[in-house]
Amino acid sequence: MNKVILASGSPRRKLLLENYGFDVAVVKPDFDESTILENDAALLVTALARAKNRCVSQTSSCYEFPVIAADTVVCLDNQILGKPSDRTQAYNMLSMLSGATHTVFTGVCISFEKRQTVFCEKTDVSFYKLSKTQIYRYIDSGSPFDKAGGYGIQDDMGIAFIESIKGELSNVIGLPMARTVSEIKKIQGDKNET
């Protein structure tokens, strides 16, 4: 069974799954993320992934296939950076990340029938020192506004910011694929053994 339900509107997560051979149906969760209050990045992303999964997996059309929900944040010096809402926020975030090392946390919740697994992966990313010109050029591209921390490592311009990465690249894009694929196989395998 290669079909999965993605409880996310992220085109990047959908593409990652498709590149691994999955047939992906997108069902966006109708969920207010501001209702989850948590200061710890790992706990926040896992709580959000769990809530998004629950929101989608309760619909009857999703019972036959694994439901995958995820949430990603950037954390710098214990400060959680979500998606910037305007140019000023984007500039401030990118200025903070400039010349520093931050951690990307992605929480994933996968459910299939009555089984569920939840995990969090983290990746350390170091930025080169960025000039104001680089930051404003990137902001002008419109890219920062739908991405945690205000950047996308998969963007032509965003990749140029990266000095080094320690961990899984796909985690920074929004879904840690090695662990996700492994957990999908496990959760489906459990059913085949019963």
Query: Are the C-beta atoms of 165 and 124 separated by less than 8 Å?
Result: yes
Residues near 150 by Cβ (< 8 Å), separated by ≥ 6?
A: 81, 83, 84, 89, 90, 93, 94, 97, 144
Give the helix/strand (H/E) hosting 59. Answer: none
DSSP string, 133-173: HHHHHHHHTTGGGGSGGG--TTSTTGGGGEEEEES-HHHHH
CA distances from 9 to 27, 31, 43, 68 (A): 7, 12, 21, 12
Spatial separation of the C-alpha atoms in residues 112 and 50, rounded to whole Å = 13
Amino acid at 158: G
| Annotation marks residue 71 as catalytic | yes
Helix (H/G/I), strand (E/B), else coil: 83: coil
Catalytic, out of 40, 71, 124, 190:
71
Q: Would you name the residues annotated as active-site residues?
A: 71
